[in-house]
């Protein structure tokens, strides 16, 4: 929901841009910090969700760690002040250059996704005379009940190491003198709204940690990954994710041994509701079968609807206030890009809309700005903040 003051402010700003409501971000971070502190759980922010400088700085100020998926994310985390003891590096295809950068930064843990990667990290660490902390990312074959494009924990997915390969992992760990085994890591997918899924994950984590302990490996860290979903249908009414319920599942169903740390890597749930993509109607095109609202933002600014048929609330914020009598019209809300898939949503009911109206695409703080591209040689999308 935008105040009249905010909408007036938008009138003077060139569109399109991401608008960050830092109060919403703060409320969300407060809730996550309080809910995780209750059980002494450690949260690492999955920086891939949004690496906007102000956003990352605020998250860092809460004392969360950083979960990174590239060498540049590792360096960015360090630059933003995340302690090296709070930076983890996951990713199915870490290059030698990236591994070396992370070794030079002395990050405390690599989440390793294949036996071959274990051997390479060992080799590169040995060349530097270092010992790298590693957690083994395991693919537990648990269905996350989310869009199949963002499911990561099934046998058919490229992520993690399958449980039938655990003997090879154990052999490699025994041989690799420049690795220190820290624990086990899981991440089964994103935008998970069915918490039962996490209960199933806990059962698998319990089994797998037993396997490691039985084979002589002390599991110091249990990392359950991220994935907690948000309510894309209700950005104002259900703004902050239910962190309490989420962490409670792990508290109840995970076997946590004395001295063990439990880690999480939340991305979307921390940042999604804090931003909206603000654009303007360039043209209203009334076809025989369809009415199109053609915006000055498209898949180059927010790709999720086009990539995963993801739902985002769309509002004409120039017309909501005082125009209630305005009859609703169905529009296909589309962008300017030369692709038919460049459509935010079809048949969106909006008040009759006109050239110059401001359109807000809500819940765009996660995987929005970071996935923007300059396809069609588009300008880089700008950011505007509430304060
Ligand atoms: C390894 C890993 N951890 C954490 C995350 C963050 O996920 P989410 O934004 O769904 O919390 C991802 C992205 O899906 C990931 O790949
Ligand atoms: N980028 C995706 C999720 C993938 C998360 C990264 N593993 C989204 O917008 O929903």
pLDDT in tens, 98-138: 999 999 999 999 999 999 999 999 999 999 999 999 999 99
pLDDT tens for 4-52 read 999 999 999 999 999 999 999 999 999 999 999 999 999 999 999 999 9
Is the pLDDT reported for residue 282 higher than 90?
Answer: yes
The confidence score (pLDDT) of residue 144 equals 72
pLDDT-derived band at 351, boundaries 50, 70, 90: very high
Q: 331 alpha carbon to ligand 2 midpoint, in Å? A: 27
Same domain, 252 and 284: no
Pocket test for ligand 1, best of 201, 226, 229, 363 (most atoms within 8 A of CB): 226
User: What pLDDT, on a 0 to 100 scale, did the predictor assign at position 158?
Assistant: 84
Looking at the structure, tell me whether residues 199 and 85 fall in a common domain.
Answer: yes
> What's the rounded mean pLDDT across residues 189-197?
95
The residue from 68, 109, 338, 343 that is catalytic is 338
Q: What token pair was written down for 289?
A: 């079968």
> Is the same domain home to 10 and 37?
no
Q: Does residue 322 carry a pLDDT above 60?
A: no
Residue 248, pLDDT score:
98
The structure's pTM equals 0.96
Task: Assess whether 150 and 218 both reside in one domain.
Answer: yes
Ligand 2 centroid, distance to 312 Cα (angstroms) = 14
Contacts of 116 (CB under 8 A, 6+ apart): none
pLDDT band of residue 142 (cuts 50, 70, 90) is confident
Ligand 1 centre and the CA of 43: distance in Å? 12
Q: How confident is the model at residue 145 (pLDDT cuts 50, 70, 90)?
A: confident
Name the average pLDDT for the chain.
95
Q: What is the pLDDT of residue 359?
A: 98
Domain endpoint, select from 250, 271, 292: 271
Q: Ligand 1, closest atom to CA 90?
A: 1
Work out which ligand 2 atom sits closest to the CA atom of 191. 10
Residue ranges with strand state E in the chain: 17-20, 42-46, 65-68, 87-89, 109-112, 132-139, 161-162, 179-185, 221-223, 261-266, 275-286, 291-295, 314-316, 328-334, 343-351, 358-361, 382-385
Three-point CA angle 369, 374, 377, nearest 5°: 150
Question: How deeply is 33 buried, as exposed, middle or buried, from its count of CB atoms within 10 A (0-12, 13-18, 19+)?
Answer: middle
pLDDT digits (tens, 9 = 90+) for 323-336: 555 679 999 999 99
Are both 92 and 36 inside the same structural domain? yes
pLDDT of residue 327: 78
**254 and 321 co-located in one domain:** no
Residue closest via CA to ligand 2's atom 5 equals 190
Does residue 224 register a pLDDT over 60?
A: yes
Average pLDDT over residues 290-315: 97
* 302 shares a domain with 153: no
My answer on whether 64 and 201 are in the same domain is yes
Expressed as residue numbers, the domain containing 48 is 23-271
**Do 194 and 93 have their domain in common?**
yes
> Going by C-beta distance under 8 Å and a sequence separation of 6 or more, which residues neighbour residue 373?
300, 303
In angstroms, the Cα distances linking 109 to 84, 86, 196, 278 are 9, 8, 29, 38
- pLDDT at res. 286: 92
CA-226 nearest atom, ligand 1:
11
Q: Is the pLDDT of residue 62 over 90?
A: yes
Percent of the chain at pLDDT above 70? 98
Q: What is the CATH number of the domain that holds 281?
A: 2.40.37.10
Q: Take residue 323 and report the two structure tokens written for it.
A: 């125009």
* Cβ 150 under 6 angstroms from ligand 2: yes
Spatial distance between the Cα atoms of 297 and 281, rounded to a whole number of angstroms: 9
Q: Which ligand 1 atom is nearest residue 367's CA?
A: 9
d(CA 106, CA 334): 46
Looking at the CA of 304, which ligand is closest?
2
What average pLDDT score do residues 188-200 get? 95
CA distances from 375 to 159, 298, 360, 369, 381 (A): 28, 10, 22, 14, 12
Say how far apart CA 309 and CA 312 lie, in whole Å: 10
Measured distance CA(80)–CA(97) in Å, rounded: 21
Q: Do residues 334 and 262 share a domain?
A: no
- β 132-139/161-162 pair status: parallel
The verdict on 191 and 64 lying in the same domain is yes
pLDDT over 60 (residue 251): yes
pLDDT of residue 1: 85
Beta carbon of 304 within 6 Å of any ligand 2 atom: yes
| DSSP notation for 324-383 | TTSPEEEEEEE-SSS-TT-EEEEEEEEE---TT-EEEE-S-TTTTGGG---GGGPPPPEE
Q: How many percent of the chain have pLDDT more than 90?
A: 91
- pLDDT the model gives residue 267: 98
Residue finishing a domain among 245, 271, 297? 271
Residue 16: asked if its preceding bond is cis (omega within 30°), the reply is: yes
Is 338 annotated in the active site?
yes
Q: How far is the centre of ligand 2, averaged over its atoms, from the C-alpha of 227 (Å)? A: 9
Q: Which helix (H) or strand (E) holds 73?
A: helix 71-79
Task: For residues 121 and 179, give the distance between their C-alpha atoms in angstroms, rounded to a whole number.
Answer: 8
pLDDT tens for 359-374 read 999 999 999 999 999 9
- Total domain count, the chain: 2
The b-or-e profile of 331-340 (16+ CB within 10 A means b, else e) is bbbbbbbeee
List the residue whose alpha carbon is closest to atom 4 of ligand 2.
Answer: 150
Last residue of a domain, one of 216, 240, 271: 271
CB 262 within 8 A of CB 225: no
Say if residue 42 is in the same domain as residue 11.
no
> Which residue lies with its CA nearest to atom 2 of ligand 2?
367
Distance 166 CA to ligand 1 centre (A): 23
Per-residue pLDDT, averaged over 283-298, amounts to: 94
Q: How many angstroms does the Cα of residue 150 sit away from the middle of ligand 2?
A: 6
262, 41 Cβ separation under 8 angstroms: yes
The answer, yes or no, to whether residue 313 has pLDDT greater than 60, is: yes
User: In this predicted structure, what is the pLDDT of residue 150?
Assistant: 66
DSSP H/E element including 213: helix 196-214
Position in ligand 2 atom list of the atom nearest CA 366: 9
Name the pLDDT band for 139 (thresholds 50, 70, 90).
very high
Q: Are 130 and 109 in contact (CB under 8 A)?
A: no
CATH code of residue 128: 3.20.20.10
Taking residues 192-215, report their average pLDDT.
Answer: 96
The interface pTM score, or ipTM, of the predicted complex is: 0.98
């Amino acid at each position: 929901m935008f105040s009249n003051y905010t909408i007036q402010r938008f009138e003077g700003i060139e569109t399109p841009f991401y608008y960050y409501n830092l109060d919403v971000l703060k409320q969300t971070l407060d809730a996550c910090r309080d809910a995780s502190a209750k059980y002494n759980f450690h949260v690492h922010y999955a920086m891939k969700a949004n690496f906007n400088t102000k956003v990352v700085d605020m998250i860092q100020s809460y004392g969360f760690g950083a979960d990174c998926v590239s060498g540049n994310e590792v360096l960015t985390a360090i630059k933003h002040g995340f302690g090296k003891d709070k930076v983890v590096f996951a990713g199915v295809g870490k290059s030698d250059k990236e591994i070396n950068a992370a070794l030079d930064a002395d990050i405390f843990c690599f989440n390793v996704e294949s036996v071959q990667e274990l051997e390479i990290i060992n080799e590169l660490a040995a060349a530097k005379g270092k010992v790298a902390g590693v957690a083994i990312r395991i693919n537990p074959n648990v269905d996350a009940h989310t869009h199949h494009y963002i499911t990561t924990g099934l046998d058919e997915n490229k992520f993690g190491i399958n449980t039938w390969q655990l003997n090879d992992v154990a052999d490699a760990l025994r041989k690799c003198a420049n690795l220190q085994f820290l624990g086990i890591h899981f991440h089964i997918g994103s935008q998970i709204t069915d918490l039962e899924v996490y209960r199933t994950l806990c059962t698998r984590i319990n089994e797998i940690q037993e396997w490691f302990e039985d084979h002589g490996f002390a599991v110091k860290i249990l990392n359950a990954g991220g994935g907690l979903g948000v309510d894309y249908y209700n950005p104002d009414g259900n703004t902050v994710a239910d962190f309490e319920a989420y962490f409670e599942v792990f508290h109840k169903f995970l076997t946590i041994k004395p001295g063990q740390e439990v880690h999480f890597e939340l991305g979307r749930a921390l940042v999604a509701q804090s931003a909206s993509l603000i654009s303007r109607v360039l043209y209203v095109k009334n076809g025989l079968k369809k009415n199109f609202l053609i915006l000055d933002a498209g898949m180059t600014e927010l790709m999720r609807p086009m990539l995963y048929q993801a739902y985002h609330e769309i509002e004409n914020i120039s017309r909501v206030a005082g125009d209630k009598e305005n009859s609703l019209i169905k529009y296909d809300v589309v962008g300017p890009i030369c692709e038919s898939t460049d459509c935010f949503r079809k048949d969106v009911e909006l008040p009759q809309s006109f050239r110059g109206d401001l359109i807000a695409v809500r819940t765009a703080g996660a995987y929005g700005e970071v996935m923007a591209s300059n396809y069609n040689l588009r300008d880089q999308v700008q950011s505007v903040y509430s304060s």
